[in-house]
Amino acid sequence: MSSRHERRTVTDDTRRADARDGRVELALDLLAALERDELALSAAVDRIETVTTDPTLVRTVLDEAELRGIVERDADRLRLQRTGEFVRFERQVVEREGDFDCRRCGASLSTGHFVQFESGELGPFGSSCVRKLLGRD
């Protein structure tokens, strides 16, 4: 009895598609974990842009979030639908020492805060920016 294994050919297009899918999933995880009931569309886009600044991917994230029931859109506001759990700072936010720039505000950091999601890691952020990013402040 012989077994057949399908081989996936990895090309530059495949790598780009995988990276694109990973960024979309990471942004969706972020939206699902926000500690807000409602958010201005511009504030949601600011948060998505910590993952990707590609306008096509930002639109894809917003569309996919609506399709998956993570958000409901109402003109320039988003209502968040509690599909995920809030980030547990003690377990999901990791601090690392080093020379970083905050992904939200661009400030230089000696301690970076990285948020661990199922789909990947997002960061670095400063201590106040990570709280704002997640909707705690």
Each residue's pLDDT, cut to its tens digit, for the chain (137 residues) gives 444 444 444 444 444 554 568 999 999 999 999 998 999 999 999 999 999 999 999 999 999 999 999 999 988 999 998 766 788 888 999 999 999 999 999 999 999 999 999 999 999 999 999 999 998 87
CA 62 – CA 1 distance, rounded (Å): 48
pLDDT of residue 82: 72
Report whether 64 contacts 20 (CB < 8 A). no
CA 134 – CA 137 distance, rounded (Å): 8
pLDDT of residue 19: 54
The full set of domain ranges for the chain reads: 12-80, 89-133
DSSP 84: S
CA 103 – CA 91 distance, rounded (Å): 21
Helix/strand number for the chain, H first, E second = 5, 6
**What pTM does this model have?**
0.83
CATH fold group of domain 12-80: Arc Repressor Mutant, subunit A (1.10.10)
